[in-house]
Structure 1
Amino acid sequence: MSRTWSTFIAVALLAVQLCTGQKVCDIWSSAGSVVQRGSSFRVYCTFACKNLGKIYSSHPPTAQSYEKLNSSTIYHNVVDINNTRTFSCQSSCRHEGEPCGVDIKSGYLPEQPKNLSCSYNVRNNESGVVLCTWKTGRDTHLQNSSILWVRTVSENHTAGPEAFKVSGKGGDSLSTSFTRSSSVRMISVWVQVKNELGSSASAPVNYTLRDIAMPSAPVLGQPECSSRKCTIRVEQLVRTPYLEIEYRAEAQTWVSSPFSVMQMGQTQVLSISSLEPYRLYHFRARSRFSSGVWSQWSRDISGWTQEEAPAKELDVWYTEASSDATSLQVYWKEPTFSDARGKIICYKVSVYNQRSNMLAANISAGVRNYTVPFCADCEVIVWVCNSIGCSPPSKITAKNKKAKLLQDVKVTADNHSVAISWTKLRTTTVAAEYVVEWYPEGQKLEQLRWTRLEKNANHCVITDLKPAECYEGAVYIHHNDGSVGQNRFTGVISESVPTAGPSVQENVDGNEVKVTWTEIPRGQRGGCITKYTIYLENSGGHQQHYSVLASKWTHTVQGLSPDVYSLWVTASTAKGEGPAGQKVKFYIKQETQYLLIVFVLILVITLFLLCLWQCSAVKQRFWGVFKCLKLDADLDPANSKWAKECTQEKGRMNLQLPQSDCSVAQEEEEPILVNIEELPNQSSEIRSPSDDSSQVPPETSLSPLTEQTTQLYPLTTYIKSFSHDSDSSDHTQSSMDTNSTVDYISSHRQGGSDEDDQEEEDFLEMDGFFPSHNIFMVPQGFGGKLTLDAVKINCTDFFQNS
């Protein structure tokens, strides 16, 4: 039936168009121009010409699927619409006119208003303003109109209802206000909301005006404050019996304060006490009738209270600033805002002894420590001062008396804090307080922190610590008799192995090396360093390691053999050993100093022995002791004792070899006769017996007279003997040396040849016949030749000439 009716309407519309001749097409929706969101419907297009067109939608227009209703009408099925859409029809006739279109809006029915509430704001004694608010519900996506209906009930009649329109969407809540006389006792209100899809209304709410009466917010004047109290002027349009004042310091919560009221005409003066000195306070107020609701809070006002002198002494601590305890580093904590009672201007530090004031200094407000001289009977006093005055003194005295140490001091660390606990001592003295100090390792003077605990405490929890940072500290117990006990501790949060190794420097000295390293940066230590390990590796890959205490940064390795070495150092914590640091190489060289000393000693001893060798007495004693070792030595017949004894017969010697003590075979059993020619010195005092050497008789003897008047062997005479078997036995060769002090007769060698004699002469002439004062050229025996058995050298002459 509905389908037939739609067809009838389409045909009727087409007939009207054809009659008028004005439109080429017509468009409409089966659900109208406003539909519920999520609904489905049809959009129809009817064309004036015989050729059917198309249906378009959206922007830009897009052709939609359609179905044919008849020869002039088509339609498009719209399913689950959720926003506003535009549809148009486009004709395909030759003389095409303007296209036709329609906007179809989608939305929701308005929900019933909720949470309707009203208040009566009394402006004066005659009337007031009623303000009503309510929740609108969800957005309908359509234009809504809201109306507040009000019915008024007075003492003798009822008026209304009266409508108050509210325009605009207004978000999720709406409100409106209206004026009512103070004679009205009760009102009844409800809200109606409409849009193109329909309307809804809330249930009526009845109010008694005095139950919803609310005064206007008070108006506060600027406060006037002393150090502990502020007074504020309060103005109200309507006098109320109830007034509330709240205040707060900066960044604190509001606190309701009791106050006293003093009436001054149309205004009231409120006095607020129990405030803190030197604080910025904020104030606000509200009022209420004997029935009804509290007014809105007034606008906030603020004011400073005045300063007072600090009433609490500083929290002071100290440590020795020098190794000889002649100076102290004094620390103090900045007082809290409440303790300072004003703006800090400076700190004062004084050092007293029994005789005089040793030091008095004013320190700026930003400084928290100071170094002072100290002695056994000194006392340090510290004050904090503002513009009004200074705090009570904080005193530091020398604690020479040592108390017993605490028992069972334990340190427990987790991921966020370190807890220190101890067992109380059972002593006759009473503990006055405990002080726990802590600081990063090696940073006591720079980052010392501490906390004071009451006398019954037995543990302390430290929370402001950095992870993987080694901390040192101590627990001090102070007794009433002045004695102090100290227990040291170390602690760390989230300890790990070091992430780096130390940097190393080496210093080689002989066969030892001094290793020096630097501390690892704090961020790479991983906690408390327990030890350092030195690794030493030679060229063969053999390693040695040496453990060193964490408190030391140098170590000497001794007794190293010559080689090439590699050296590095690692650091360890309780969690393990870290990586190797910088590797260095060094060399241990062969020791040459001792060899040089030995060489110099040998050289000196050799020179000394050579010098002694020039003395005949030393040489005779030497050959007397070691004569068995001189197996091939020949005797010097000219200078030997037996040769001189045989000079009794002039010009003739009976050379008979003595019996040797050594077991050496005798090579000659027959006596050897030697021809001797005596050559006189070429001096005017000694006359040559003959100038013709060819007349020398075969046998020569020395006369006693010649032996007494002249030297047997002059200082400058060299006598050489030849074997009587030699072909040149008749020849005598002389060599004159004015500096010679030795008489020498060449050795007799049995079976010697002319070549041997010539070699001997050539050898003697080669070096100038070995000057007698050359200690390195002492005449020696060569081969089987005879040599001197005693060399007559005066060592004193040698040293004089040299």
Structure 2
Amino acid sequence: MSQTCFVLIAAALLVVQLCMGEKSCTIWSSAGAVVQRDTSFKVYCTFNCKCRGSMYSGHPSTPQKHTELNSTTIYFKVVNITKNRTYSCQCNCSPTLDPCGLDIFTGYVPDRPKNLSCIYKVLNNKSGDVLCTWNRGRHTYLRDKTELWLRTVAGNHTSEPERHNVSSKGTGSLSIRFTVLRSVQFIYVWVQAHNELGPVVSATVDYTLADIATPSPPVLGQPECSSRECVFTVEQPVRTQHLQIQYKAAEQTWTSYPDQVTRSSSHKLLSIPPSLLKPKGSVQMSTVQAWSISSLEPYSLYHFRARSRFSTGLWSQWSTNTSSRTQEEAPAKELDVWYAESAFDLKSLRVYWKELHISIARGKILGYRVRVYRPDSGLDLVTNFSRDARNYSVPTCANCEVTVWARNSKGLSPPATITAHHTKAKSSQDVQVTTGNHNVTISWREPETALLPASYVVEWHPEGQKLEELRWVRLGGSDDHAVITGIKPFECYEGAVYVFYSDSSVTKMMFSGVTTLESAPEVGPSFQETVEGQIVKVTWTELPRSKRRGCITNYTIYLENSSGHQQQYSIPASDRTYVIQPLSPSIYSLWMTASTAEGEGPVGQQMKFLIQQGTLLTNVLVFGAISLIVVIVCLCHFSAVNQKFWVFCQCLMLDVVPDPANSKWAKECTHEKGKMNLQQQRSNSSTTEEEEEPILVDIEEMPRQSGDISTSTNASSQLPPQISLSLDVTPPYPATTYIKSLSQDSDSSDHTQSTTVDYISSHGLGDMEEDQEEEDQEEEEEEEMLGFFPSHHLFSGPMGFGGKLTLDAVKIDFCSDFFQDS
């Protein structure tokens, strides 16, 4: 009983398993699982239970609009399929069953192989490799299988076809290599390709192996080179009848040497130098040859290669390149030397030279040697420079001779001598400039002279940078133009054309304002203004080179006053200062711009300044007053003019003269009887410290006498009026109104004059001591001390003192005397 139950349970489990693995439908394609791209077909689904089925496609699954064929079958029409697709069908059955699916693979039938060709690479005397290649055509997107079939003919025996499987990975060309014995004379080959969509076969190609035979590439040894020749070995595994060697230097094209060498040619094979031989056992000696390549350039890196060929067949592939450099020789030509004179010192000379081309240098330039010879002094100076030097400044080198050499390990170059020529300037109109996008053409007319030009030198440089960036080119006497390259855009250039004649004379034609690309300046000039009265001086600096954007044609100064009136001043590009005059009083604003041929640049800084009222008139009046004073001082040195001028000033005095006796000063003096102090301010004239003390003067009192004329000359009259005077009067008897007069010499008469007045004047008073001896002594000392003062002063004349300090007795009648004398 228990065994029967076990069997029933096992059967039930088997039914369940079968039910779980059963599909709900069956799916198939009318074109199969592999179809050709761009074709149309139908996909069918037949369900195993009664249900409403549906069809899906892609990942993720997308419902498709199917068509019902009958109650159990549906289909979907696929049009022009272009890639691999997956289709599935599903139906709700009871119990639930798995959906069904189908993978469709798409692709193309293989193209027929084309351009089948084979070569026979001879490895040794027993066998060789045949390499066949062909074009497989387009990619099929399917798993292809490709085979090459071979049939050989050796003598009278023809072999059965041999199949060689070919890897079909990738696209484009396919190839296969197989070994053939040297006894085979002919071969037949064809290619077959196939996939799930069908097979294709190429045409059969037959070859005579002698026609497609090619040797292996030669192997070149490392060359050994002198300055003009290189020797190297050529190794080949089999003996060939033709050998071709090529060489080139740097980026040059390959040159054959000789073009085609045969064993029967007249080319002489060298014996193999021991240094070129490899160790024994590497190759047979019969396959090693030594070759020499001559007519090479010194100090040049050369590359060599070779290939070989049998008497029939094809050339081998080129060997691997081998390289070597020839040895050095002394430089072949002199340096290209030019010069420039300093704009600040015409006696200073800067000599320039160009780097030699490697074909002329013939070695690595180690340095330069410069010799300066001065014929006037016989001084001969030699200086060595490093290999990086390109110029040398020679100070005070008027009419000196400068010679430059280049030096390498083998010696010096020929000397290049330059002498500063006295050039004769010619019209710049003889030079024409044509600009392109990246170059400039300088052309000129042939000079109309009896002598023909021997050569030309065209120099050019950025504006104002001659010493720093000078460039030049030498041309023959028959040339009439030069093409200048390397011109920087938005840079202004200038230069000259030098014409050298056979008689050593030189003419020079200048050109300027050359640029390839140009625009308006980026900034305005930086300037300073200086105001002097009604005159304004404006000074500015050049724009930075990077901001000019071409050749500056002019500067413009803008001046605007406070009322808005604006003036413009256009200044040439060569100027750096400009004076504006005269300006009326106002507050002014000033700014500047720079212009090129393409337009005016932006405004730079803006400054304001003030022109004051009457500044110009004040300067004129001050100048006039100073001139008048100078004239008067000069005229006053003449005594006659001095006297007349004093009389004229007396006429200008007022008719009513104030009475000094009633002044405050006179009243204070009366408080001390018989004593009077007179003082004046000191002048800037030099005096000794002893002269700062008041000087006491004795006054001699005498009775008044009419018509009394003093004939004595007092030395104290020579004292200047700045000296302080002190009068100490202590009369032993009643005071009189008469004071002894002081006298001066007059240029207009031969005698001494004196005048008696009713007041005391400090003009011309000297020192007077109590003792007559001391007075005489001091008068002599004062004459010595003050001898440097002039004897005739402005307004000097005879004056006297006496009587009371009233104006009743003063009689002024100078005017009548002045006009009478006139």
The SS at the match of 2:306 is strand
Q: How far has the Cα of 1:542 moved from its partner?
A: 2.6
The SS at the match of 1:524 is helix
Choose which of 344, 359, 362 in structure 2 pairs with 1:323. Answer: 344
Q: TM-score, normalised by structure 1?
A: 0.72
Summarize the Cα distance change of 1:774–1:29 in structure 2 as closer, same or farther, 3 Å threshold: farther
Q: How far has the Cα of 1:445 moved from its partner?
A: 0.3
Alignment partner, residue 692 of structure 2? none
Alignment partner, residue 15 of structure 1? none
Alignment partner, residue 274 of structure 1? 295
Choose which of 446, 457, 466 in structure 2 pairs with 1:444. Answer: 466
Residues 460 and 472 in structure 2, CA contact (< 8 A), matched pair in contact too? yes
Alignment partner, residue 309 of structure 2? 288
Deviation sequence 1:545-581 (CA, Å, 0-9, x none): 3333322201222322322111122333445544443
Alignment partner, residue 244 of structure 1? 244
Deviation sequence 1:259-312 (CA, Å, 0-9, x none): 753365331111111221112222111111111111111111111111111111
Alignment partner, residue 213 of structure 2? 213
Summarize the Cα distance change of 1:426–1:35 in structure 2 as closer, same or farther, 3 Å threshold: same
Alignment partner, residue 481 of structure 1? 503
Choose which of 371, 376, 383 in structure 2 pairs with 1:361. Answer: 383
For the residues of structure 2 that align with 1:682 and 1:100, how far apart are their CA atoms?
158
Residues 348 and 398 in structure 2, CA contact (< 8 A), matched pair in contact too? no
Summarize the Cα distance change of 1:497–1:740 in structure 2 as closer, same or farther, 3 Å threshold: farther
Residues 381 and 395 in structure 1, CA contact (< 8 A), matched pair in contact too? yes
Alignment partner, residue 435 of structure 1? 457
Residues 619 and 790 in structure 1, CA contact (< 8 A), matched pair in contact too? no
Q: Letter of the aligned partner of 2:580 in structure 1? A: V
For the residues of structure 1 that align with 2:297 and 2:338, how far apart are their CA atoms?
28
Residue 525 (structure 1) aligned with residue 533 (structure 2): no
Q: How far has the Cα of 1:380 moved from its partner?
A: 0.4
For the residues of structure 2 that align with 1:635 and 1:498, how far apart are their CA atoms?
79
For the residues of structure 2 that align with 1:484 and 1:586, how far apart are their CA atoms?
52
Alignment partner, residue 549 of structure 1? 572
For the residues of structure 1 that align with 2:329 and 2:299, how far apart are their CA atoms?
8
The SS at the match of 1:465 is coil
The residue correspondences of 1:155-234 to structure 2 (distance < 5 A) are 155-234=155-234
RMSD of Structure 2 on Structure 1 (CA): 3.9
For the residues of structure 1 that align with 2:658 and 2:418, how far apart are their CA atoms?
103
Alignment partner, residue 82 of structure 2? 82
For the residues of structure 1 that align with 2:431 and 2:808, how far apart are their CA atoms?
95
Residue 303 (structure 1) aligned with residue 324 (structure 2): yes
Summarize the Cα distance change of 1:623–1:584 in structure 2 as closer, same or farther, 3 Å threshold: closer
The SS at the match of 2:160 is strand
For the residues of structure 2 that align with 1:740 and 1:465, how far apart are their CA atoms?
109
Residues 426 and 509 in structure 2, CA contact (< 8 A), matched pair in contact too? no
For the residues of structure 1 that align with 2:308 and 2:388, how far apart are their CA atoms?
46
For the residues of structure 1 that align with 2:227 and 2:548, how far apart are their CA atoms?
52
Alignment partner, residue 58 of structure 2? 58
Residue 313 (structure 1) aligned with residue 334 (structure 2): yes
Q: How far has the Cα of 1:387 moved from its partner?
A: 1.4
The SS at the match of 2:159 is strand
Residues 279 and 304 in structure 1, CA contact (< 8 A), matched pair in contact too? yes
For the residues of structure 1 that align with 2:304 and 2:459, how far apart are their CA atoms?
42
Deviation sequence 1:193-232 (CA, Å, 0-9, x none): 1010011111111211111111111111111111111111
Q: How far has the Cα of 1:601 moved from its partner?
A: 11
For the residues of structure 2 that align with 1:465 and 1:345, how far apart are their CA atoms?
30
The SS at the match of 1:124 is coil
Residues 125 and 238 in structure 1, CA contact (< 8 A), matched pair in contact too? yes
Residues 538 and 565 in structure 1, CA contact (< 8 A), matched pair in contact too? yes
For the residues of structure 2 that align with 1:399 and 1:251, how far apart are their CA atoms?
41
Q: Letter of the aligned partner of 2:463 in structure 1? A: E
Summarize the Cα distance change of 1:383–1:602 in structure 2 as closer, same or farther, 3 Å threshold: closer
The SS at the match of 1:262 is coil
For the residues of structure 2 that align with 1:250 and 1:543, how far apart are their CA atoms?
67
For the residues of structure 1 that align with 2:736 and 2:625, how far apart are their CA atoms?
34
Report which stretch shifted further, 204-213 or 350-359. Answer: 350-359
Q: How far has the Cα of 1:170 moved from its partner?
A: 3.2
Q: Letter of the aligned partner of 2:327 in structure 1? A: Q
Deviation sequence 1:312-355 (CA, Å, 0-9, x none): 10000001136343221111111111111111111111101345
Residue 393 (structure 1) aligned with residue 415 (structure 2): yes
Q: TM-score, normalised by structure 2?
A: 0.70
Alignment partner, residue 690 of structure 1? none
Summarize the Cα distance change of 1:327–1:410 in structure 2 as closer, same or farther, 3 Å threshold: same
Summarize the Cα distance change of 1:405–1:561 in structure 2 as closer, same or farther, 3 Å threshold: closer
Q: How far has the Cα of 1:393 moved from its partner?
A: 0.7
For the residues of structure 1 that align with 2:516 and 2:317, how far apart are their CA atoms?
52
The residue correspondences of 1:338-357 to structure 2 (distance < 5 A) are 338-354=359-375, 356-357=378-379
Gaps of 5+ in 2: 1-17, 259-266, 273-284, 631-643, 662-670, 675-701, 707-733, 739-758, 764-805, 813-822
For the residues of structure 2 that align with 1:634 and 1:189, how far apart are their CA atoms?
154
Summarize the Cα distance change of 1:148–1:563 in structure 2 as closer, same or farther, 3 Å threshold: same
Residues 704 and 737 in structure 2, CA contact (< 8 A), matched pair in contact too? no
Residues 21 and 98 in structure 2, CA contact (< 8 A), matched pair in contact too? no
Q: Percent identity?
A: 57
The SS at the match of 1:392 is coil
The SS at the match of 2:270 is strand
Residue 561 (structure 1) aligned with residue 584 (structure 2): yes
For the residues of structure 2 that align with 1:284 and 1:682, how far apart are their CA atoms?
137
For the residues of structure 2 that align with 1:483 and 1:619, how far apart are their CA atoms?
77
Residue 261 (structure 1) aligned with residue 285 (structure 2): no
Q: How far has the Cα of 1:446 moved from its partner?
A: 0.5
Alignment partner, residue 783 of structure 2? none
Q: Letter of the aligned partner of 2:586 in structure 1? A: D
Q: How far has the Cα of 1:682 moved from its partner?
A: 12
Q: How far has the Cα of 1:475 moved from its partner?
A: 0.6
Residues 703 and 736 in structure 2, CA contact (< 8 A), matched pair in contact too? no
For the residues of structure 2 that align with 1:528 and 1:569, how far apart are their CA atoms?
17
Residues 129 and 180 in structure 2, CA contact (< 8 A), matched pair in contact too? yes
Residues 406 and 424 in structure 1, CA contact (< 8 A), matched pair in contact too? no
Alignment partner, residue 412 of structure 1? 434
Q: Letter of the aligned partner of 1:158 in structure 2? A: T
Summarize the Cα distance change of 1:622–1:313 in structure 2 as closer, same or farther, 3 Å threshold: closer
Residues 20 and 97 in structure 2, CA contact (< 8 A), matched pair in contact too? no
Q: How far has the Cα of 1:192 moved from its partner?
A: 1.2
Summarize the Cα distance change of 1:463–1:541 in structure 2 as closer, same or farther, 3 Å threshold: same
Alignment partner, residue 778 of structure 2? none
For the residues of structure 2 that align with 1:19 and 1:773, how far apart are their CA atoms?
162
Residues 107 and 142 in structure 1, CA contact (< 8 A), matched pair in contact too? yes
Deviation sequence 1:439-488 (CA, Å, 0-9, x none): 11100000100000011111112132123322111111112221111111
Residues 406 and 423 in structure 1, CA contact (< 8 A), matched pair in contact too? no
Residues 500 and 581 in structure 1, CA contact (< 8 A), matched pair in contact too? yes
The residue correspondences of 1:459-538 to structure 2 (distance < 5 A) are 459-490=481-512, 491-538=514-561
Alignment partner, residue 697 of structure 1? none
Residues 21 and 97 in structure 2, CA contact (< 8 A), matched pair in contact too? no
Q: Letter of the aligned partner of 1:282 in structure 2? A: H
Residues 401 and 482 in structure 1, CA contact (< 8 A), matched pair in contact too? no
For the residues of structure 2 that align with 1:344 and 1:202, how far apart are their CA atoms?
64
The structure having more radius of gyration, on CA atoms, is 1
Report which stretch shifted further, 166-175 or 470-479. Answer: 166-175
For the residues of structure 2 that align with 1:523 and 1:22, how far apart are their CA atoms?
86
For the residues of structure 2 that align with 1:335 and 1:487, how far apart are their CA atoms?
28
Residues 349 and 397 in structure 2, CA contact (< 8 A), matched pair in contact too? no
Q: How far has the Cα of 1:544 moved from its partner?
A: 3.2
The SS at the match of 1:170 is coil
